[in-house]
Chains A and B, each alone.
Chain A
């Protein structure tokens, strides 16, 4: 049972890392677009 709990936790943590990476990429893209569109 202990291993199962750890497995679920580990899977959730990996999911969190992937989510965080995607959201951070979106933020960086919005920042870049602000500069690019303002310079046109």
Chain B
């Protein structure tokens, strides 16, 4: 032990004791290793990508406003659907959650920063380059990727444009960034928690992200493997996915969805965490069923790896395979139902108030449940045979990812923004924004259920006349929903620049958690001294001790 202590003391440098603020100027953001700075960079990057991906969605809805080809060529339309999906998944939703994790996990666990700050800087700064490379493919000869965000072989190998190699490199970089982010979160949660915080004391946002990080570690390398095989099939004469050379294109789908289904939960588990903080705060009650929330999150994570082929019911699998994947898929509704039950029960007989984050959280619970129920329908084999590749699927995953994942991110931003910048946003404008967005998003996506049930296929630039009315309604909703994000940008910038100052550490009176014991605005360095176990227990928003 003596040797170890000597070694440790030898390693302690004098500058460890210094506490300094951010570097002035632009280089602060380039060189920063501060978890909050990096988190803010992630959030601004995600918002920029949301606007880019949203602009592509506007092009899609413009073309689909009326039947017939009107504004864009079919090939460009396919590029729009492909890039919209890729940018929203890899450029907007995932980075936004990583940003929130960076900002909030250290203060929630009583830690000083993320465990690997330099790697954290690298994780972020890979993203703009990967995003730029992905977007640059649209300006290359032959156009950008136009094979859908699932990039099925042989569309993405034998029949793809040359720019696909750049797309592959961009996916590699995005995956590398995600894996490094996940490593950092696992190392932080396992090693930098306050000594008095046991695993079952951790706030749910930390728990859900901890489990999500393991999903990332298990799923992203599989995606990296898939795109590597695409690369070698395209350029080095291999035949992983080429039937003519002894390969199997259906194997691509298996590999893709072995990544792709856990990816869905990567985008929704942190959302569950955020909602599990917002609802207890504004219901002024401890979270109901904390332990069951943790176990449900773990169950969903495990089940997410054994259901991938429900995306492939039409590839011709044996009946036994169909039955297994159907039942395993339906099984996920049990832990998900536990979560919805717990949120509703937390609200039950609570002293509810409906501040902006709570409005978004309640909308999340209702609308995400709609997306979950349509998912149940799609999990049933005979029903899926009819719904597969129709607008019903588009409606389903947009309810899950927009009114689910995106709404929770907005709820989280409105919940924590006053803590971050020390100012309160314009609540009147934020209320208008909420109702504008929540009405328009339903006008946009709900008619897609009817279009899908009536048989309208997805990924088409033109359609039969009987689909005209619902497409028109959906497009109007789409334009309105798209515009609402300009108002969101104004509200956030206005809050940061000239919002009403907030003095209280605990911005919301019902909020519990170590993060609310820090000064407002949050100091540049988070906990420089460990919070005690007493404080950890006092600040818990649940009763499972």
Contacts and interface: CB of A to CB of B under 8 A. Distances in A.
B17 interface: yes
B251 interface: yes
Interface in B239-268: 240, 251, 255
Nearest to B529: A5
Interface in A1-34: 2-3, 5-13, 15-17, 19-20, 23-24, 26-28, 30-31, 34
B234 to A, nearest CB: 15
Contact of B115 (A7, A10, A11, A13): A13
Contacts of A15: 187, 190-191
Interface in B194-236: 195, 217-218, 220-222, 224-226, 228-229
A24 B255 contact: no
Interface size class of A (residues with CB under 8 A): 20 to 34
Contacts of A27: 179, 183, 217, 220-221
Contact of B229 (A9, A12, A23, A38): A38
B53 to A, nearest CB: 27
Contacts of B218: 26, 30
Contacts of B119: 20
A12 to B, nearest CB: 5
Interface in B35-93: none
Interface residues of B, number: 37
Given A11-B8, A38-B240, A30 B221 contact: yes
A19 B182 CA distance: 12
A39 B226 CA distance: 12
A39 B112 CA distance: 45
A34 B220 CA distance: 11
Contacts of A39: 240
A25 B222 CA distance: 14
B237 to A, nearest CB: 13
B221 A20 contact: no
The A interface is mostly helix, strand or loop, or mixed, namely helix
Nearest to A26: B217
Contact of A7 (B8, B191, B226, B240): B8
B304 to A, nearest CB: 15
Contact of B191 (A12, A31, A34, A35): A12
Interface in B513-545: 529-530
A15 B188 CA distance: 10
Contact of A20 (B9, B11, B17, B187): B187
Contact of A38 (B5, B188, B255): B255
A24 B183 contact: yes
A16 B221 contact: no
Give the one of A10, A11, A27, A28 with max B CB within 10 A: A27
A30 B12 CA distance: 36
Contacts of B183: 20, 23-24, 27
Contacts of B11: 10
A10 B191 CA distance: 11
Given A13-B115, A20-B183, A38-B229, A2 B190 contact: no
A16 B217 contact: no
A39 to B, nearest CB: 7
B211 to A, nearest CB: 14
Interface of A: 2-3, 5-13, 15-17, 19-20, 23-24, 26-28, 30-31, 34-35, 38-39
Given A27-B183, A30-B217, A38-B240, 16 more contacts: A6-B17, A8-B530, A9-B112, A13-B115, A15-B190, A16-B187, A16-B190, A16-B191, A20-B115, A20-B116, A24-B179, A34-B224, A34-B226, A34-B255, A35-B228, A38-B229
19 contacts: A2-B17, A6-B17, A7-B8, A9-B112, A10-B12, A11-B8, A13-B191, A15-B187, A15-B191, A16-B191, A20-B186, A23-B187, A24-B183, A26-B217, A30-B218, A34-B222, A34-B224, A34-B225, A35-B225
List the 8 closest pairs (A to B, CB-CB), nearest first. Answer: A34-B225, A16-B115, A31-B221, A30-B221, A16-B187, A15-B191, A16-B191, A19-B187
Interface of B: 5, 8-9, 11-12, 16-17, 112, 115-116, 119, 179, 182-184, 186-188, 190-192, 195, 217-218, 220-222, 224-226, 228-229, 240, 251, 255, 529-530
